[in-house]
């Protein structure tokens, strides 16, 4: 992961707190965290004397790392120790921090340095965490090294998480720009596919600095509709074999969510010579092929070309073009519907995109600080704490776990709502799902004095769907029933085959739900005002996940409840066809 800039100031603040924690907990006066941004090594967090700050925070090329590592001694998985190297021998803004001289064999010297190399899963260096001037005046012992190694692992995780968040921000910006580029092609004023194909040309050429565009919409009963034009807007012709190739190749690209690059002077697997010949005849150097689609359906193909004097296609541009493929595919699908249907689809899509982006953004916003909090709590848990501090540590750990569950639920809702994550249906045996859920929650129910009863019919209980989502559906319903049923109560989980559906019921003798709340409990973050229910911890996302899963699987969801008498949730899912 490489960036030309880092726009996330909140991530810098979190990393600064981490560096200060390293200095304080491990016992060093100076701690510095630098990350790789583009070709530079940039300091993003510093703890130490102000007199050195300006020098340490100066930007260096990434190349300064290699000579230091070559002179260093490995002290663990990430740690490297260097001593005896003169600053004149090393490039970059390295600082020798004054140290009180000592004759001890393990004394820390002014030319001593200890750093941790932070890498991604592929082994590429993403940052350096360095410390200097230990408060003991000695080289760190095994305990301090182990603690610093653990902090380095947490710093590595935090940096990678910050990079992932930065990538997400960039993708969101690209997606928003893509929508603006093709907005004229998706407005209701366009009554036909031909109008969409015509009006999309200029924004695509301007947005990608392309010399030409080819837009083609597939049809099940024929070659479909296409339009190819050069930079000036002049319509051109295209050989039939290239059209057939695109029609065969685009669905594979869409399924794999990737863009295909073709260069005139470099043969590519699966690309006929006629395509390369066509590029050469047109005086083109390269072309990217972008699938257009919505959900699991590929509806068309987009090609953008460049001439030899233009720059090569960057990965960011190709990623950007795939986002345009999503948006333009939606526009083409909209153009094939009636005006009323177009307006409805567009409104629903915008709402779904907003909710998905909101949930994804909130999740990623919380993930970075949660990583730091959980890491520090984990480190504190390994220390000897007195009873009062241990209680506080336990409370903070439970709070962090609760926040993590909330983030996980938000990310699950975002994933299920995003068009790039269509439902993949596989045979799911609800008998096995209920067994897993009951085995997981049985001990909790027994601890509360609740009878957890399972009643499964002998008929087939197989449904087509996503195993993780079905497990979440049943697990959330049973977990809620156990949570809101007082001691001595009963929870019954039953499943039966009714006509072409598998019907799952979760009935309890718990608190019940007021009639005015029953229409709103499936909204995200909604919680009843019943004081007894509010005394139980929760986020208000469990039933929202249940409702989303049922909707995605084409099922029905009903609730019947009376205050003080209990609640019954009924879910009917389409059953798998026999054979």
DSSP of 24-80: HHHTEEEEEEEEEETTEEEEEEEES-GGGHHHHTS-EEGGGHHHHHHH-EE-SSSEE
Exposed, middle or buried, 169 (CB in 10 Å: 0-12/13-18/19+)?
middle
Q: What is the pLDDT along the chain (579 residues), one digit of tens a residue?
A: 444 445 556 777 888 888 888 888 888 988 999 888 878 888 888 998 888 888 888 888 888 888 888 888 999 899 999 887 655 556 666 666 666 666 788 888 888 889 999 998 888 898 999 998 888 888 998 998 999 999 899 889 888 888 877 766 664 555 455 556 665 545 445 456 777 788 888 888 877 878 889 998 887 676 678 888 888 888 888 778 788 888 888 999 999 999 988 888 877 777 777 788 878 888 888 889 999 998 888 989 999 998 888 878 877 788 888 888 888 888 787 776 543 454 454 565 666 566 666 655 665 566 667 777 777 777 777 777 788 877 887 777 766 666 666 666 666 666 666 656 677 889 999 999 999 999 989 998 999 999 999 999 999 999 999 998 999 899 999 998 999 899 999 999 999 999 999 999 999 999 898 888 888 888 776 667 666 655 566 666 788 889 889 998 999 999 999 888 899 999 999 998 875
**Four-way CATH pick for 189-336: 2.102.10.10, 3.40.50.150, 3.30.450.40, 3.20.20.70:** 3.30.450.40
Instruction: State the pairing for strand pair 490-498/451-456.
Output: parallel
DSSP state of 88: G
CA 395 and chain centroid, separation: 28
Instruction: State the pairing for strand pair 462-465/426-429.
Output: antiparallel
CATH of domain 426-574: 3.30.565.10
CA 109 – CA 217 distance, rounded (Å): 70
Query: What is the number of alpha carbons within 13 Å of residue 106 lying toward its C-beta?
Result: 7
Question: Other C-beta atoms within 10 Å of 503: how many?
Answer: 20
| Nearest CA among 348, 113, 305, 117 for reference residue 209 | 305
Exposed, middle or buried, 387 (CB in 10 Å: 0-12/13-18/19+)?
exposed
DSSP state of 372: H
Judge: domain 9-138, CATH 1.10.10.60.
Answer: no
The helix/strand count (H/E) of the chain reads as: 17, 19
pLDDT, residue 235, reads 87
CA 497 and chain centroid, separation: 37
């Amino acid at each position: 992961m490489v960036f030309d800039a880092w726009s996330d100031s909140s991530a810098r603040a979190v990393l600064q707190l981490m560096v200060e924690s390293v200095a304080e907990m491990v016992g060093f006066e100076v701690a510095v965290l630098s990350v790789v941004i583009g070709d530079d090594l940039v300091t993003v967090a510093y703890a130490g004397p102000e007199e050195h700050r300006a020098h340490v925070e100066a930007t260096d090329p990434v190349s300064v790392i290699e000579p230091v590592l070559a002179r260093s001694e490995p002290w663990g998985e990430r740690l490297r120790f260097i001593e005896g190297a003169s600053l004149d021998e090393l490039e970059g803004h390295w600082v020798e921090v004054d140290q009180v001289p000592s004759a001890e064999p393990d004394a820390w010297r002014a030319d001593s340095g200890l750093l941790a190399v932070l890498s991604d899963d592929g082994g590429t260096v993403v940052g350096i965490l360095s410390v200097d001037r230990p408060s003991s005046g000695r080289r760190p012992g095994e305990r301090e090294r182990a603690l610093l190694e653990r902090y380095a692992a947490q710093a590595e995780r935090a940096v990678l998480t910050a990079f992932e968040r930065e990538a997400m921000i960039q993708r969101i910006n690209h997606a928003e720009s893509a929508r603006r580029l093709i907005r004229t092609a998706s407005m209701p004023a366009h009554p036909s596919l031909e109008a969409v194909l015509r009006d999309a040309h200029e924004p695509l050429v301007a947005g990608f600095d392309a010399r030409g565009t080819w837009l083609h919409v597939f049809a099940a009963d024929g070659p479909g509709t296409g339009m190819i034009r050069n930079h000036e807007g002049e319509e051109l012709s295209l050989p039939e074999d290239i059209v057939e190739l695109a029609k065969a190749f685009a669905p594979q690209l869409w399924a794999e969510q990737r863009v295909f690059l073709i260069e005139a002077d470099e043969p590519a697997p699966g690309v006929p010579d006629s395509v390369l010949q066509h590029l050469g005849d047109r005086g083109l150097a390269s072309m990217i092929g972008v699938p257009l689609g919505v959900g699991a359906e590929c509806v068309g193909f987009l090609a953008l070309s460049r001439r030899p004097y233009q720059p090569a296609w960057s990965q960011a541009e190709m990623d950007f073009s795939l986002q345009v493929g999503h948006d333009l595919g939606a526009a083409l699908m909209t153009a094939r519907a009636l005006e009323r249907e177009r307006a409805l689809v567009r409104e629903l899509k915008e709402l779904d995109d907003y909710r998905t982006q909101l949930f994804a953004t909130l999740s990623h916003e919380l993930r970075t600080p949660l990583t730091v909090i959980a890491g520090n709590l984990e480190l504190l848990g390994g220390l000897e704490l007195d009873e009062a501090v241990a209680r506080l540590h336990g409370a903070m750990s439970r709070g962090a776990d609760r926040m993590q569950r909330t983030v996980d639920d938000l990310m699950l809702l975002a994933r299920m709502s995003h068009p790039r994550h269509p439902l993949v249906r596989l045979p799911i045996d609800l008998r096995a799902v209920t067994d897993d859920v009951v085995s997981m929650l049985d001990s909790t129910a027994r601890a509360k004095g609740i009878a957890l009863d399972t009643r499964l019919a002998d008929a087939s209980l197989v449904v087509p769907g996503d195993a993780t989502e079905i497990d979440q559906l049943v697990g959330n319903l049973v977990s809620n029933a156990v949570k809101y049923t007082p001691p001595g109560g009963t929870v019954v989980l039953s499943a039966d085959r009714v006509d072409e559906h598998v019907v799952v019921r979760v009935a309890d003798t718990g608190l019940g739900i007021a009639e005015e709340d029953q229409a709103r409990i499936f909204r995200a973050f909604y919680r009843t005002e019943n004081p007894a229910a509010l005394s139980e911890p929760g986020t208000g996302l469990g039933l929202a996940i249940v409702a989303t899963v049922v909707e995605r699987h084409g099922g029905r969801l009903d609730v019947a409840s009376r205050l003080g008498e209990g609640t019954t949730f009924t879910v009917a899912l389409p059953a798998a066809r026999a054979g």
